[in-house]
């Protein structure tokens, strides 16, 4: 036999459990990490551009180019990832604060 389970509507929404202070501080921390990754990417790319590969061997040049591209690409990926995280968490804080202004009867969990 198949049991039917009735889902009761929840009285609280998911925005009740979100702490705005933590959203903003986490967004700032992610932004700081993204800024560090951006600076490191810029410094590493400059170092690679100012120091050319000095070899006559074609394989060494190809492998060195691939490694340099991977290093700069990984730091760029970290920059983009933490930038998106920062923007997303701050936008979440803005969304939740707007929802709490629209529905002021919802208790906040700033604890």
Question: For 82-93, what is each residue's pLDDT tens digit?
Answer: 999 999 999 999
DSSP 54: -
Higher-confidence residue of 20 and 1: namely 20
- Can you give the pLDDT at residue 11? 42
- Other Cβ atoms within 10 Å of 93 Cβ, number: 20
In this prediction the pTM is 0.73
- Can you give the pLDDT at residue 14? 64
CA distance 75 to 77: 5
Alpha helices (runs of H) in the chain, residue ranges in sequence order:
20-50, 58-102
């Amino acid at each position: 036999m198949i049991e039917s389970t009735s889902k009761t509507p929840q009285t609280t929404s998911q925005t009740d459990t979100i702490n705005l202070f933590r959203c903003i501080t986490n967004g700032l921390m992610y932004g700081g990490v993204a800024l560090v990754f951006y600076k490191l990417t810029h410094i590493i790319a400059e170092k690679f551009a100012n120091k050319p590969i000095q070899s006559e061997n074609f394989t060494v040049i190809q492998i060195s180019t691939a490694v340099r591209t991977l290093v700069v690409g990984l730091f760029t990926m970290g920059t983009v990832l933490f930038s998106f995280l920062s923007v997303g968490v701050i936008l979440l804080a803005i969304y939740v604060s707007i929802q709490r202004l629209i529905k002021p009867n919802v208790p906040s969990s700033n604890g």
